[in-house]
Structure 1
Amino acid sequence: MTMNENALGNNQMKSPTIQKDLTRACAAEVTNVILNDIKDNIFSLMVIECRDISVNEQMRVVLRYMNKHGCVIERFLTFAHASDTSVISLKKTIDELFGKHKLSLSRLRGQDTTKLQICKILDMMIQEMNNQFSKSSMEELTYIACLDPKDSFSQFDIGKLLHLAELYLEDFSLTDRVILENQLETYIQNVRGEFSMMEDLGSLAKKIVETGKNTIFSLVYRLIEIALVLPVATAFVERGFFCDENYQD
């Protein structure tokens, strides 16, 4: 006698309803793991427009952050349905998403980063997908390139890195920026000898954590963290496609 004959109408493990329940339960557990990993860290948001099988507009939402080991992590969070692809509609959908998962807008990083400027963040993401960078975006890339360890930190520039900190006043108070200048002077003397063979910013971040220098140079590491959670900026810096000569007025 088969299982189906014994179980009669109670064998529902293969039913669409049960399968959907199991899928939702697994998705909820994975989401909780991601949110617990982020905790109160800063993160960036990547939104990819797509359509489902019914040709309805939806967004694929990916979170990018650095974990406690100094590794850059990108995690798919969810599909979010939108009525259309206008900025207002996308903003409404993201607001609802943040509320559902208890994500803090104050920890979101990107261009001009405040609650009132979320629309500008979305506009920037659209521009990034089209590889159309504004002058301010290119200027920020110039600052971030100063953190690149290639060629024994040849592009390191304290002045530009202080300008980068000024773009993120939520992360760097006036006192922090004064301390940061001193930290940068000591930091570059320290890492040029020990980490001169590093080839990209991601590897440098992990090495800094491994050696405990993220505590010694906490404000410098905060700059590195911000640079690494910005998806497009990181791609330029880490892959070596960007250099100062590319920036023109």
Structure 2
Amino acid sequence: MTSPTIQKDLVNCCAVETTRAIINEIGDSLFSILVDKARDNSVKEQMAVVLRFVDKSGQANECFLGMSHVTDTCAQSLKDAIDAMFSTHGLSISNLRGQDYDRASNMSGEFNGLKHLILRENPHAMYVHCFAHQLQLAIVGASCKHVNAFRTSYQANILEKLNTGELIGGSDQFQEMSLACPGDTRWGSHLLTVTCFINMFNAIIDVIENISEDGVHSDQKSSALRQMNNMQDFEFVFSLHFMFEILAITDNISQALQKKDQDIQNAMRLLNLCKYALQNLRENGCDTLFSRVIEFCVDRHILVPNMEDIVVVKGRPRCVAQQVTYFHRFYVDLYCHVIDSILQELNDRFPETTIELFTCISCLSPKDLFAAFDKKKLLRLAKFYRLDFNSEELLLLRSQLDKFLLFVRMDETFFNLNSISCVAQKSVKTRSSCYFPLVYRLLTLALILPVATASVERVFSTMNLIKSDLHNKMGDNWLNDNLVIYMEKAIFKKLENEIRHCFHILHSVKRSITSPDRSLVSFNKADQLERCTNHSASSFSFNIITTAQEISKYPTRVQHLKRESMFTDRPSDASNLRCFQSRLASGTQFRTAFPFATSLIKSIRYY
């Protein structure tokens, strides 16, 4: 087990069996894909693919399929990599019913994006923009775009100075804590940064004041003094607390959207809750916010302007300046404008077709004994998937929907359910999925629609742990095998016997290939050959398996070549193996009969 080759073969067997278990669980059922790309520590573009499907128990699952290195990130290259991965694992793009990416042009472009290329081949693969990403763009993007004072003050210079060697002159209170830099893809990091900034406001001012007095360069001193004056301004403090209020509303929703078991109906309910909370903040939260900001400023000796005084808008000549009060400035121009912009962003990010689709899916909600159940909208939902419901099944679906509604309102098993996923699981448990197969198909289609790409983001986080700076020469196959095992460890732990048997077969095949005199004996067992046929989840294992099939298919040809004295030497050491390989390369008859065996033996190492 200390040999690197043995270790890689063992990890490869674990990854092959784990992936095979996932593929077997999917079978011929429908699924969706979640795709994203990122660079690893060796600056190579890696594309991760996650599958979302409904298992035999009615539970929606998101499983990591694999990672592929792409030479460039254009849409066609990503599509080719997905096709190759599907071909390797025996998946059909015709069974694809959903796709979830970010809003990058190469992923979701209307004309040449990956979304369009897949829809061109399969028009039933509904595209859903990541809900968590939409929330991030709408909340953080709109807020930061309008709250210029806050953004320029704490993002541009403050965080940079506080995380450099200039922190030596800070107070003891500050040295026990640190500011968290907001990340582009870590939604909760913005709330953490704002919270720390509010709690450490006094310490930050002390540090910047020390820099302004003891700085080495005059530019450093003037910059620190300018930033300190900006921070000790009522508008900056108001913007800081206002940002906290907005992010506090969306943080729990953002975390809930990134759960694996989330479905479209719950996601829409959470987004509607977010809209309601923001609207309530606009109508009823202003007085509380003003009171908290004024109290914060008084405690820190920051000047509080009289809200009835006139303020001149900066950037305009005084003779034509707009005469507005401070209250109008903070309430109308900042407070209401930012909230309205966020609400408008949330409403604009769903196209008309997507809204109609989500509205139809919401009719499957089990809340209040299926109070939202609407047969017309559910029939409309079925028409979105004409490949899964023909004209005859649409007629049968009408009667099944009526019977299903009566059934769930009579059976106590379906009382007090909260999500569509619970309905699907109860349907399987009570075997009503067999009584109402078309309704269960609708439930499955609703569940496999992806909600967020959080599962793919977790893959990239794990990738950075595995392929670290100290392991930046790790190969793509080795990285993929480790990721599959780590991400799907719950499945991996159940496959001990299968992995052991796969590893035994793999090495028996290798020994047989390096010792051709024993090849017929090794591959004469029907159970080994049958076992080998089931392993096609990786290219290396696939070559070995195909080699086993070839040698077992042509035993008379091997005997004939042996009689021609092509294999007179037995490769008992490395020199004999090289001699064997050279003879193999010159044997036209053997290369024709055994193309996979030829390529594999040329590349195999003797150990």
| Distance of 2:84 and 2:2 partners within structure 1 | 33
* 2:341 is aligned with 1:124: no
* 2:278 is aligned with 1:61: no
Specify whether residues 146 and 116 from structure 1 end up closer, same or farther in structure 2 by C-alpha distance, changes over 3 A only: closer
Q: Which residue of 2 aligns with 1:152?
A: 369
Deviation, structure 1 residue 120: 7.7
More strand, by proportion = 1
Conserved? CA contact 1:91–1:118, under 8 Å = no
* 2:407 is aligned with 1:198: no
Q: Which residue of 2 aligns with 1:163?
A: 380
| Distance of 1:49 and 1:146 partners within structure 2 | 35
Q: Which residue of 1 aligns with 2:78?
A: 90
| Distance of 1:119 and 1:108 partners within structure 2 | 8
SS of the residue corresponding to residue 69 of structure 1 reads coil
Specify whether residues 211 and 68 from structure 1 end up closer, same or farther in structure 2 by C-alpha distance, changes over 3 A only: same
Instruction: Report the AA paired with residue 41 of structure 1.
Output: S
Instruction: Report the AA paired with residue 363 of structure 2.
Output: C
* 2:350 is aligned with 1:133: yes
* 2:30 is aligned with 1:42: yes
* 2:443 is aligned with 1:224: yes
* 2:427 is aligned with 1:208: yes
Q: Which residue of 1 aligns with 2:235?
A: none
Q: Which residue of 1 aligns with 2:360?
A: 143
SS of the residue corresponding to residue 72 of structure 2 reads coil
Deviation, structure 1 residue 110: 2.0
Conserved? CA contact 2:94–2:122, under 8 Å = no
Aligned-residue sequence identity (percent) comes to 43
* 2:178 is aligned with 1:175: no
| Distance of 2:53 and 2:38 partners within structure 1 | 23
Deviation, structure 1 residue 191: 0.7
* 2:95 is aligned with 1:107: yes
Specify whether residues 119 and 186 from structure 1 end up closer, same or farther in structure 2 by C-alpha distance, changes over 3 A only: closer
User: Which blocks of at least 5 consecutive residues in structure 2 are unaligned?
Assistant: 100-114, 135-348, 453-607
| Distance of 2:438 and 2:5 partners within structure 1 | 51
SS of the residue corresponding to residue 14 of structure 1 reads coil
Deviation, structure 1 residue 149: 0.5
* 2:379 is aligned with 1:185: no
Conserved? CA contact 1:105–1:114, under 8 Å = no
More helix, by proportion = 2
- The alignment of Structure 1 onto Structure 2 pairs a total of residues equal to 222
Instruction: Report the AA paired with residue 74 of structure 1.
Output: E
Q: Which range moves more in the overlay, 218-227 or 65-74? A: 65-74
Deviation, structure 1 residue 198: 0.9
Instruction: Summarize deviations over 1:86-111 as a string: whole Å, max 9, x none.
Output: 22221111111111111011211127
Specify whether residues 48 and 105 from structure 1 end up closer, same or farther in structure 2 by C-alpha distance, changes over 3 A only: same
SS of the residue corresponding to residue 31 of structure 1 reads helix
Q: Which residue of 2 aligns with 1:26?
A: 14
Of structures 1 and 2, the larger Rg is shown by 2
Instruction: Report the AA paired with residue 368 of structure 2.
Output: D
Q: Which range moves more in the overlay, 30-39 or 78-87? A: 78-87
Deviation, structure 1 residue 83: 2.2
User: Which blocks of at least 5 consecutive residues in structure 1 are unaligned?
Assistant: 1-12, 234-249
Query: Quick one: which of 45, 57, 60 aligns to 1:72?
Result: 60
SS of the residue corresponding to residue 124 of structure 1 reads strand
Conserved? CA contact 1:106–1:114, under 8 Å = no
Conserved? CA contact 2:96–2:122, under 8 Å = no
Deviation, structure 1 residue 16: 3.2
| Distance of 1:168 and 1:218 partners within structure 2 | 15
Instruction: Summarize deviations over 1:164-189 as a string: whole Å, max 9, x none.
Output: 10011111000000100111111111
Specify whether residues 114 and 232 from structure 1 end up closer, same or farther in structure 2 by C-alpha distance, changes over 3 A only: same
Conserved? CA contact 1:46–1:61, under 8 Å = yes
| Distance of 1:14 and 1:120 partners within structure 2 | 51
| Distance of 1:101 and 1:156 partners within structure 2 | 38
Conserved? CA contact 1:113–1:121, under 8 Å = no
Instruction: Report the AA paired with residue 178 of structure 1.
Output: L
| Distance of 1:167 and 1:113 partners within structure 2 | 17
RMSD: 2.7
| Distance of 2:92 and 2:425 partners within structure 1 | 25
| Distance of 1:65 and 1:88 partners within structure 2 | 25
| Distance of 1:125 and 1:206 partners within structure 2 | 24
Q: TM-score with structure 1 length normalisation?
A: 0.81
Instruction: Report the AA paired with residue 84 of structure 2.
Output: E
| Distance of 2:403 and 2:124 partners within structure 1 | 34
Deviation, structure 1 residue 51: 2.0
Instruction: Report the AA paired with residue 7 of structure 2.
Output: Q
Q: TM-score with structure 2 length normalisation?
A: 0.34
